[in-house]
Structure 1
Amino acid sequence: MTGFPWAAFAANLGWAAIGVLAVMAVTFAVAAPRGLHRLVDVAWGVAFSAVAVVSYGLSAGQGDAGRRLLVVLATALWGLRLAVHLARRGRGHGEDPRYEQILAKAPGSRTAYALRTVYLAQGALVWLISLPVQAAAYVPAAPGAGTYAGALVWAAGLGCEAVGDHQLARFKADPGNRGRVMDRGLWSWTRHPNYFGDFLVWWGLYAMACGAWQAAAVSALSPLLMSCLLIWGSGKRLLERHMAGRPGYAEYAARTSGFVPLPPRDRPDSHRKAPRKL
């Protein structure tokens, strides 16, 4: 097969949007009566998995079978792991303060406002960010060096995210750490191993879509948008604003890389010479 099947890809865009809307609609139907809109965070990973499965099914006979299988498995594994992790983390807790703050601005019905600003907005982001997943399914070329390099970047990102989440969960589970800042393991190398992991995952998935220039061009916005969200949007920037007043956080931030994992910096007073004995 030669060329990129634009007509089939265009149809996929529509069906992927329907899949995302279905996930968000079910989540809204469950969350709204309970006033627990934090469930949309769980739906985030599920919606990406739904897009991957829809694209895999529709692209049969259009894209390379090996690339299609690699991308659907990579996306679904990342999305479902994230969904399970967030579901476990939020179990037994009330509404997320982020959504309380958003819904406090509702000019009328909080439920209608939540539908527009939380569910539909996140659904649109899922659809847009998932463009490499959709495009990769229609690339006719067999996986090459770039595809496998992307898979390695994806695997590194998934590992970084999963290890960081596990380390943080264990830290929080210890009552002795209440009120303390997590600064161990990966968290001593970067203040956001989970966000950096997401960053690698989506650049890896983009590389898997680059087997055809058309797919690379149509989906280039995706990793750029995800990077902006993670670093300057609702990820790193928002969390650090929330953490800024916590005791010990300023010192932690001074010695720990803000995003890319790097060896911890020395404490400001670590190079002071011991006083000379008289």
Structure 2
Amino acid sequence: MTGFAWEAFAAGLGWGAATSLAVLLGTFVIALNLGVHRVVDSAWGVAFAAVAVVAFGLSEAHGDPGRRLLVTVLTAVWGLRLAVHIARRGSGHGEDPRYEAMLERAQGNRNLYALRMIYLLQGSLVWLVSLPVQAAQYAPRPLSVLAFAGTALWAVGLFFEAVGDAQMARFKADPANRGRIMDQGLWRLTRHPNYFGDFCVWWGLFLVACDGGWQAAAVSVVSPLVMSVLLIKGSGKRLLERHMASRPGWDAYAARTSGFFPRPPRREQQ
């Protein structure tokens, strides 16, 4: 192993795309049987974990074993935790309002529209966003300080996601909080601990890939950039805040609480 395995990496990209597509198409079949498309949100994390595991197996003769194992474990832990959390959160509920609104715009067969606009689109995004995970598997350089920095950033992200989700779940479980805005714990520091956590996770995985050399960095930098745009300007923060804007107390909460990056809340104007 003397250099970045370009040919093996290119072949692995094809297998990564096939893996992502298989998970999302399988989820589409499950959704048709259940009658709701919200199950695709759980498949998002599963697809990332599956792509990482497939890349780990394919890269055995090419990449540094330590980096291959590290990036696979980090991705699988993040993806499977997210999948389980979303599945528990959605259990017993009907269709997600986001998907219901999207399907109302369908002309023709709603399920075929969902296949194109939800499943195939998310499958493509999984493949694109997972580029650092795939590229890191084929980099032969041994782990160094940048990989450990990336792992630390990943850990910060997982903390914000997992703790933020747990705090929100406890808040919603209390009937006394019905109709109120969650502004406790990590939600005092940012309106979106889970999205900020995602941001840190993918920039952390990118640093692990960068630790393997400029080749892995060059082919995967688009991933954290795309994820950042999706979280801040795309289907993450922007859409959720549009949905929350009409709730009582939202304006005051938004005025004192950071929209993304954590910071102490502003003092309310007297």
Residue 227 of structure 2 corresponds to 226
Residue 122 of structure 2 corresponds to 122
Report how far residue 33 of structure 1 moved.
3.0
The letter of the residue matching 2:198 is D
Rounded Cα–Cα distance in structure 2 between residues aligned with 1:10 and 1:102: 35
Residue 137 of structure 1 corresponds to 137
Rounded Cα–Cα distance in structure 2 between residues aligned with 1:244 and 1:207: 35
Report how far residue 212 of structure 1 moved.
1.1
- Local SS of the residue matching 1:94: coil
The letter of the residue matching 1:63 is G
Residue 272 of structure 1 corresponds to none
Which blocks of at least 5 consecutive residues in structure 1 are unaligned?
270-278
Rounded Cα–Cα distance in structure 1 between residues aligned with 2:131 and 2:13: 8
Report how far residue 25 of structure 1 moved.
1.2
Report how far residue 219 of structure 1 moved.
0.3
Rounded Cα–Cα distance in structure 1 between residues aligned with 2:9 and 2:269: 55
Deviation by residue 1:4-55 (Cα, 9 ceiling, x = unmatched)? 1110001100111111111111111010133210000000000000000000
Rounded Cα–Cα distance in structure 2 between residues aligned with 1:179 and 1:266: 23
Q: How does 1:1-278 map to 2 (within 5 A)?
A: 1-210=1-210, 211-269=212-270
Instruction: Provide the TM-score with structure 1 as the length reference.
Output: 0.96
Which blocks of at least 5 consecutive residues in structure 2 are unaligned?
none
Rounded Cα–Cα distance in structure 2 between residues aligned with 1:8 and 1:102: 39
Greater Rg over alpha carbons, structure? 1
Rounded Cα–Cα distance in structure 2 between residues aligned with 1:259 and 1:36: 30
- Structure 1 runs, 4 residues or longer, greater than 6 Å off: none
- Local SS of the residue matching 1:11: helix
Rounded Cα–Cα distance in structure 1 between residues aligned with 2:120 and 2:195: 23
Rounded Cα–Cα distance in structure 2 between residues aligned with 1:263 and 1:26: 43
Rounded Cα–Cα distance in structure 1 between residues aligned with 2:155 and 2:48: 17
Rounded Cα–Cα distance in structure 1 between residues aligned with 2:94 and 2:265: 35
Rounded Cα–Cα distance in structure 2 between residues aligned with 1:56 and 1:135: 10
The letter of the residue matching 2:242 is R
The letter of the residue matching 2:141 is A
- Local SS of the residue matching 1:73: helix
Rounded Cα–Cα distance in structure 2 between residues aligned with 1:225 and 1:26: 25
Rounded Cα–Cα distance in structure 2 between residues aligned with 1:99 and 1:108: 16
Overall identity of the aligned pairs, in %: 68
Deviation by residue 1:157-188 (Cα, 9 ceiling, x = unmatched)? 00111000000000000000000000000000
- Local SS of the residue matching 2:182: coil
Rounded Cα–Cα distance in structure 2 between residues aligned with 1:142 and 1:73: 17
RMSD of aligned alpha carbons: 0.6
Report how far residue 103 of structure 1 moved.
0.7
Rounded Cα–Cα distance in structure 2 between residues aligned with 1:189 and 1:33: 41
Rounded Cα–Cα distance in structure 2 between residues aligned with 1:24 and 1:190: 31
The letter of the residue matching 1:32 is L
Rounded Cα–Cα distance in structure 2 between residues aligned with 1:77 and 1:170: 22
Deviation by residue 1:212-266 (Cα, 9 ceiling, x = unmatched)? 1111000000000000000000000110000000000000001100000000111
Rounded Cα–Cα distance in structure 1 between residues aligned with 2:52 and 2:109: 34
The letter of the residue matching 2:164 is G
Report how far residue 60 of structure 1 moved.
0.2
Instruction: Provide the TM-score with structure 2 as the length reference.
Output: 0.99
